[in-house]
Structure 1
Amino acid sequence: MNLSVLKYTGEEVGRSVQLPKEVFGIEPNDHAIYLDVKAILAGRRQGTHQSKERNAVSGSRRKIKRQKGSGTARAGDIKSPLFRGGGRTFGPRPRDYSFKLNRKVKKLARRSALTYKAKSNHIAILESFSFEAPKTKNYLGMLQKLSFLDEKTLLIIPSVDKNIVLSSRNIKQAKVVCVDHVNTYDLLHAKKLLIMETAITPIVEKLTQ
């Protein structure tokens, strides 16, 4: 797939780049995408939920009435889940929701997500750039000139650029990540994918090796 390289001001540079088929033109694997997104979202869960079971509720352990002869059901101590103020039966406990996913499946999922973006023509290649200072106005101006102001965008840069990252941080629908932190969920969540020209080779190397 051939795409023209754009300046961050929206103007064409006058050259184009060929997106490698081994990353941007494979047969997408939907199940790999599902597993990777599921793993990412599971890893973000805090898992700090907890309720008091009968061993954590304050109260006497004494049997509140005799076993037989009262004419009502048998009952143990006052901390029983059957009584108001008692413990909860099988309540939630703190746990870790994350699970391991094979590296090859992750790479396949990310290549599949990039392929979907390429097929739907939602990728734009930008010439390398940086801002002199971290200003939200600069990043908003870039999105406006690229006609992506009202779209959810993901900008992939080759390495961390503090000025670019800080300029985008206050924009709700914009996100900037370096190549090392690209994941399937972010790729699919964004409507438009902006890739810095110098980040293409690192992406290909990371997802094919």
Structure 2
Amino acid sequence: MELSVKNIQGGDTGRKVTLADSVFGIEPNNHAIYLDVKQYLANRRQGTHKAKERNEVSGSTKKIVKQKGSGGARHGSRKAPIFVGGGRIFGPRVRDYSFKLNKKLKQLARRSALTYKAQGNAIHVLENPVFAAPKTKEYIKVMNALSLADKKTLVVLPEPNENFYLSSRNLQNTKVVQASSLNTYDVMNCDQLVLCEGAVAMINESLGK
């Protein structure tokens, strides 16, 4: 699959890049995408939630009333969960939600996500942008030139580009990442995928194996 490379003014540069069929033209695996997205979201969870249980609540452990003869239920401590201020039964504990996936499965998930974008004609190739300084207005001009200003976009850079990244940081509907950190969640979470010219070869090489 070949796509024309556009400049930051939205015009055709006359160059073309090839999207490898082994990356952008496979039979998508929905379950692999599900597992990879699930892992990504799970790994982002802090897991710092915590509620005090009976043995952690501050209070007296003195028996409230005698065992028999009170006419009521038996109670041994004010820290029991049925009392106001008592511990919580089976409350949330600090835990790690992260889990591991096979490397080949994660690569399959990324190839599947990229294939869906290719099938939906949602991939654009942009020449490597050069910004002299961080300017949000300049970034918006580029998106307008590509007719993507009102779309949720993911821009993939071949290497760090601080000025370009800072120019996009204040905008809600766009995200800029490097090709080395491209993940399934970000690809599926965008409407349009913008690949910088240098990033295409990196993706073809890393995922085409």
Question: If the TM-score is normalised by the length of the shorter chain, which range does it land in?
Answer: over 0.9
Counterpart amino acid of residue 205 in structure 1: E
Deviations 1:24-47 (CA, angstroms, capped at 9, x unpaired): 000000000000000000011111
Contact 2:153 2:193 in 1 (8 A): yes
Question: What CA distance in whole angstroms lies between the structure 1 residues aligned with 2:63 and 2:120?
Answer: 69
Counterpart amino acid of residue 99 in structure 1: F
Does the residue aligned with 2:109 lie in a helix, a strand or coil? helix
TM-score, scaled to structure 2: 0.97
Contact 2:125 2:195 in 1 (8 A): yes
Unpaired segments of 5 or more residues in structure 2? none
Counterpart amino acid of residue 11 in structure 1: G
Deviation of 1:178 (Å): 0.6
Counterpart amino acid of residue 121 in structure 2: N
Counterpart amino acid of residue 158 in structure 2: P
Deviations 1:37-86 (CA, angstroms, capped at 9, x unpaired): 00000011111111111111111111111111212111110000011111
Question: What CA distance in whole angstroms lies between the structure 1 residues aligned with 2:146 and 2:198?
Answer: 19
Deviation of 1:17 (Å): 2.0
Deviation of 1:206 (Å): 1.4
Task: Spell out the pairing of 1:9-88 with structure 2 (5 A cutoff).
Answer: 9-88=9-88
Question: What CA distance in whole angstroms lies between the structure 2 residues aligned with 1:101 and 1:77?
Answer: 46
Deviations 1:105-145 (CA, angstroms, capped at 9, x unpaired): 11000000000000000000112221111111110110011
Overall identity of the aligned pairs, in %? 57
Equivalent residue number for residue 143 of structure 1: 143
1:91 is aligned to 2:91? yes
Question: What CA distance in whole angstroms lies between the structure 1 residues aligned with 2:153 and 2:93?
Answer: 37
Question: What CA distance in whole angstroms lies between the structure 1 residues aligned with 2:203 and 2:18?
Answer: 14
Does the residue aligned with 2:206 lie in a helix, a strand or coil? helix
Equivalent residue number for residue 114 of structure 2: 114
Deviation of 1:87 (Å): 0.5
Equivalent residue number for residue 133 of structure 1: 133
Does the residue aligned with 2:13 lie in a helix, a strand or coil? strand
Counterpart amino acid of residue 104 in structure 2: K
Equivalent residue number for residue 7 of structure 1: 7
Unpaired segments of 5 or more residues in structure 1? none
Deviation of 1:208 (Å): 2.9
Question: What CA distance in whole angstroms lies between the structure 1 residues aligned with 2:36 and 2:64?
Answer: 53
Counterpart amino acid of residue 107 in structure 1: Q
Does the residue aligned with 1:3 lie in a helix, a strand or coil? strand
Does the residue aligned with 2:203 lie in a helix, a strand or coil? helix
Equivalent residue number for residue 176 of structure 1: 176
Find runs of 4+ consecutive structure 1 residues off by over 3 angstroms: none
> What's the Cα RMSD here?
0.9
Contact 2:27 2:112 in 1 (8 A): yes
Question: What CA distance in whole angstroms lies between the structure 1 residues aligned with 2:92 and 2:53?
Answer: 9
Counterpart amino acid of residue 72 in structure 1: G
Question: What CA distance in whole angstroms lies between the structure 2 residues aligned with 1:43 and 1:8?
Answer: 35
Deviation of 1:18 (Å): 2.1
Does the residue aligned with 1:139 lie in a helix, a strand or coil? helix
TM-score, scaled to structure 1: 0.97
Deviation of 1:16 (Å): 2.1
